[in-house]
Amino acid sequence: MMRIDARGLLVGGEYLPSPNCDDRPGGAIELLVIHNISLPPGEFGGDAVLRLFTNTLDVAEHPYYASISELKVSAHFFVRRDGRVIQFVPCLKRAWHAGESCWQGKSRCNDFSVGIELEGSDAVPFSDAQYIALIQLSAALREAYPKCGITGHSDIAPKRKTDPGPRFDWARYLTGLCVQ
């Protein structure tokens, strides 16, 4: 079973600190935001997402990387295709994952949310291992932060984002979370 400690870290999890975070303004963590990401787009298994979130992406490695070279982004967690979870930002810090966003009338979702990136794309189904890890991680987060709602990036930034995308099985995820 996964567990979040008092510092906002996944107990026993892999932690790769990102510089792309800052202090949260006052207030509770109220939301989990589900995303998808792959770099280069549609390719899985490499370390480009890790390097993007740690500002070490080599723009010469792929033509697409030049178009994102100025980004300073992060998420709290990244769930690989094999279900491995990597944490970049402690939950008590603000990760830079949601951008311009609004949830239940509140803007600036980064201020009160935890971002979870799934290695994937809008076009490819997510793996069984990812659903298992995401459900366990979400349960641990909701245990630590019981007021958390759950939404997709597309729901808080509908004019800008489509993730986690049409291949994300919300029913499977939410049903799995309910039986935890």
Task: Give the model confidence (pLDDT) of 44-70 as tens digits.
Answer: 999 999 999 999 999 999 999 999 999
d(CA 145, CA 8): 10
pTM for the whole structure: 0.97
Q: Element (H or E) spanning 118, and its range?
A: strand 113-119
Single-letter residue type at 162: T
- Burial (0-12, 13-18, 19+ Cβ within 10 Å), 41: exposed
Give the pairing of strands 102-103 and 106-107. Answer: antiparallel
pLDDT in tens, 100-137: 999 999 999 999 999 999 999 999 999 999 999 999 99
**Nearest CA among 29, 24, 37, 28 for reference residue 150:** 29
Name the fold adopted by 14-178. Answer: Lysozyme-like (3.40.80)
Please give the average per-residue pLDDT across 157-165, as a whole number.
97
Domain locations along the chain = 14-178
Q: What digits encode the pLDDT tens for the residues 91-100?
A: 999 999 999 9
**CA–CA separation, 16 vs 51, rounded Å?**
10
- Decide the pairing of beta strands 77-79 and 31-37: unpaired
Token pair for residue 78? 């990244």
How far is it, in rounded angstroms, from Cα 108 to Cα 84? Answer: 29
Burial of 75-98, coded b for 16+ CB within 10 Å and e otherwise, reads: bbbbbbbebebbbbbbbbbbbbbb
Residue pair 157/41 in contact by the 8 Å Cβ criterion: no
H or E stretch including 150? Answer: strand 149-152
Task: Return the sign of the alpha-carbon dihedral for residues 132, 162, 23, 174.
Answer: negative
Catalogue the active-site residues. Answer: 117
